[in-house]
Structure 1
Amino acid sequence: MASLFHLFLYITLLHTSINGFNGHSIKPPITARPYFSCGGGVFRYPFWHQDQPSGYCGYPGFGISCGGDGSGPVLRLSGDAYSIMKINYSENTLTLRYVDINNGSCPRAPHGVTLDNSSAFSYTARNNMLRFFYNCTLYPPSLPSMECLRHGTKRSYVFIVGAVPEFDWSGYCETTATVPVIEKSVGGDLVDDFGRGIREGFELTWRSDGGCRSCEDSGGFCGYGGGDLHRNFFCFCSGGRRSSNCHNNGMEYRSPYSRSLLFISEARPILIFSQCNTRSHLTLSLLNFLLYFLLLFLLL
């Protein structure tokens, strides 16, 4: 009967290890992305509602504000606000444009677009970078200017970055700005097409936050709370919050079928050992009964 006791103790511990410790079962990964409504649209993870006070599920810097001023959903990059025109979740891309830009034929970029080195966003290959020089008091006379932005004798110019003519632009122009625009929105004549390029915005892509990869690979969603975003990271899982990912004590989620296979593979050596060392047919029958009873329990 000692072998019967050892088998019962072993399969009890094995069942505990397969299903988790401390009363927390390992549950299937979350399949539905968190979402919220904002400015007449619906947004999903990794974006989050800026007005959530205590914590959020998403990436740092992906907070969207939903003000009631008619500006629609707004995302901030390096402190500057941009209206969200479109998001493509399958390609991890979004299209932004200036919040305070006018829809006329001659808009002026209020400032350049800046992405921090630590930002999860980057430009896609579908952009052209334009360089604007506004209100220049001296300029090469042979170059065409943006006539709609002319003020007296002051003229303004636009060029593609990398094709700016040699001249002391910063010395003779009041302001300059480097602005991304979607390449197909501007044709060969920048002086005529720059307005459409600014109005249609630019395209960014995003990558997974470094601390989120382990969480997402395990089937969870990243979240943050408290003051220091990176120090208060947690992983949203179907079984609740975890400190880093949805694995429990290093164990990944297993379906009932896979757990049963694991149980059989682990318990088989013990059963064989018991069979080889048991003389009583009654004891052997009890061993088989316990094994298949617990196997049935795992499958339920």
Structure 2
Amino acid sequence: MDIFKTLFFFILFSSSSLSTATTVEKICKSAACGHNEPIIRFPFQLKNHQPKSCGYPGFTLSCGANQTILELPSGKFVVRGIDYSTQEIWINDYYPNNCLPKKILSLNLSNSPFTASYNQPFTLFNCSFHYYGYNLIPVACLSDQNYTVFATSSDRVFELLLSSSSCNVFASVQVPVERPFYQQVMSSDLGDDLWLTWGKPRCTKCERRGARCGFMSNSSLEVGCSYGHEQGIPKGARIAVITGAGVPVMLCFVGLLLVVFAKFKSFVRNRSLPEYNSTITPQHVLTTTTGLDTLTIESYPKIVLGESRRLPKPDDNTCPICLCEYKPMETLKTIPECMHCFHADCIDEWLQLSASCPICRNSPGRLLPPEPQDS
């Protein structure tokens, strides 16, 4: 009856693992403050909607008036959006204050995990109300009936206002912007979103492969990739494991059931007969395809994409393994026999587990160095 015990514990362990994984995934499920608000997940944690353990320290957000709120040392800000793959968050002033330039004057990121994506220097001038030179845009919420405030990053406008008897320098600030302005800004009302980024935890590579970042354990801040409830398995390896290991596991399970049935049937038929020794016949062993060696994988040519993203096959603009579109400065690798391109990391992981191209299934070989020519 030992085989019945083995089957029982196998089923019990499988259902218990699945239940635990589902529970963890449900606890740290993504949340949002409203229908059109950003989706909040690791490394962020939404207060009163997700447990603290679902977010990295310093990344707590909250809800207010159906808006997503980030609180920095210099005040509260509305979260307008989050890009998890580039690790950027853009924010604006929190209603009802509605004066972002005032917040910029006292912006302090020193005690937060965030830094400016790009800093654009602006000089603020306090000018007499009647000054209308150069058609400048006023900073309305910092101006009043007696004077007007202008903000500029242009050297020409700076010199013009500085030379005017109607204007005085009010302040100099660094404004976090989405991208650096290669042309100087003549004037701005400083009402555009502030763009911030974070460096830790580093989840860019994980996110771009369709995975999710998360804690590796409850006792440390070590972070790893997660695919649903599967922790730490790269996407390429996960595909190979599903295709390469899933079938043998299922066959083993079905075989186990058949053995149990045969044993039970034999036990019923021969329960009154004495035990006999059976001869064990050799069994066919399922063989699994092994991957290529490291030297062979490393011998395949690499490509670093430029801004034009020009590839050997122009139509191949997406990695067939992770299904992510190629971007400039990414490293690709080509299989010489079929000229199929992949992200270098993706195809390396695939070929370590499977010795065939994921697209055409041809079995590539090692790329030999060219033979020396006779002199």
TM range (shorter): 0.3 to 0.5
Structure (1 or 2) with the greater strand fraction: 1
Q: TM-score, normalised by structure 2?
A: 0.40
Q: TM-score, normalised by structure 1?
A: 0.48
